[in-house]
Amino acid sequence: MSALALSVLLSFVSAVAYAGGAIVQEQVAVSSPGAQQYAPLRRPGWWAAVALNGLGGLLHVVALAYGPLSLVQPLGALTIVFALPMAALFVGRRAGATAWRGAIMATVGLAGLLSLVGASDAQSLDTAQRVAAALGTAAAVVALMLAARAVHRHPAVRSILLATASGVAFGMSSVFTKTVAVDWTGGVSAADLPSLAVIGVLATAGMMLSQASYRGAGLAAPLATLTVVNPVVAAAVGITMFGETFRYGTTGTALALSCAVVAAGGLILLTTERLAREQQEARTTEAGTAASGTASPVAESTAADAGAPAADPAARLLAELTLPRDVRMPVPLPSPGAAPDDEASVPVPLVSYAPYYGGPYVPVAVVDRQRVRVKS
C-alpha cells in the first residue's frame, strides 16, 4: 500500500473514531444529571468516548505523517457525515432531511476551505505570541461559556455556543502542538513546558465543553459546529501567525470565502432545524397537557424552568385541590339590639391565601365587643 493510500485510510478511520466518540458523548449527556454535564467521571461510557477521541486524534497525526496536509485535513471533515448514519444504526437516532442538508453543506464548505489553505515553512511562535494566544483563547472560551449560561433556556443556542468554545479550545491546542513540534526539531528545552501545560489545559477544556454541548441539543448541530470551528480556528491562526496563505492567489481567496459561507450556512441550517424541533416538541407537550387537563399554571412554569415535562409534586397537589362554590362558614355573632345571650349565626366568607401559603386559610371569627346600645 502506498503512503498516500495509507494516509487516506487512516483519515477515514480517524473520522469514524471521532464520530463514534461523539455518539457515545451524546448518549452519556442525555442520561447524565445536570451536575455532571461537563465531566461525568463515574460513567464508563464517557471514558470510552475519551478513548475514541484519543484514538481519532492519534490516527489523524499518523495520517499527517504519511500524507499531505491539503488532503488529510479536508478528510477530517467527514466526521459529521459518518456520525449521522452511525447514530441511526447503533442508537436509533435518525436525522431529518434538513439535518442532512446542513451536515453536507458544512462538510463540503469546510473541506473546500481547508483544501485551499497552502502549506508554508515550519515556523514557531515567540514567547509574546504564545502568551497573547493563550490569553486570547482563555478570554474567548470564558465569554462563550458565559453566553451559553445566559441562554440556558434555549438548549440549541446554548449547545452551539459551547460547541464553538470547544472548537476554539481544540483549534488552539493544535496550534500550540504545532509550535512545540517545531521547537522539538532543535531539541527539547524547559521553555516548552508552559506550552505543554497549555496544550493539556486546552485539550481537557475542549473535551469537557464538547460533552456539555451535547446535553439537550441532539448530535448533528454541536458535532457539526465543533468539526467546523476547530480547523477554521487553526487555519486562521496559521494564516495570521505562521505566514500561511490560500492557494491560487486572489481566486483562491475568493473561493475560500465562498466555502466559508457554505459551511456557515450549513451550521445555521442545523441550528434552525434544532430550534424548530424544540418548538414542535413544546407545542406537542402543551397540546397533551391541555387535552389531559391535569396540569396547572404553576406546574407548567415549573416544568418550563426545569426544562422537563414532569410537574412538581406540590404543583400537582395544588392543581387537584378543589373548593366548593359556597365558601362561607356560619359563625355565631350577637345581633344588634338583642339580649347578651341571644346570638344569631351570620355566614362569614373564608379568605384563601393559596398563592402565599399553598392552601386555603380559615380565619378565626372575632366577636365584636362594641355593642350598639338602643336608647328608648
Q: Per residue in 124-155, pLDDT tens?
A: 778 888 899 899 999 999 999 999 999 888 88
**pLDDT confidence bin for 165, thresholds 50/70/90:** very high
Q: 77 or 108: which carries more pLDDT confidence?
A: 108
- What pLDDT was estimated at residue 295? 47
Do the Cβ atoms of 124 and 242 come closer than 8 Å?
A: no
Nearest-CA neighbor of 23 among 222, 164, 281, 158? 222
Interval 35-57 mean pLDDT: 83
42-56 mean pLDDT: 88
Highest mean pLDDT among 204-218, 280-294, 334-348: 204-218
Structure-model confidence comparison of residues 216 and 57, the more confident one:
57
Q: Is residue 16 pLDDT above 80, yes or no?
A: yes
**Amino acid letter for position 286:** E
Which residue type, as a one-letter code, is found at position 155? P
Q: Give every CB contact of residue 46 below 8 A, 6+ residues apart in sequence.
A: 24, 25, 28, 39, 40, 211
Tell me what percent of the chain is helix, strand and coil, each rounded to the nearest 5: 70, 5, 25
How high does pLDDT run on average in the chain?
A: 76
Nearest CA among 260, 258, 264, 270 for reference residue 223: 270
Contact 333, 344 (CB under 8 A): yes
Q: Which of 49-53, 125-129, 308-312 has the highest mean pLDDT?
A: 49-53
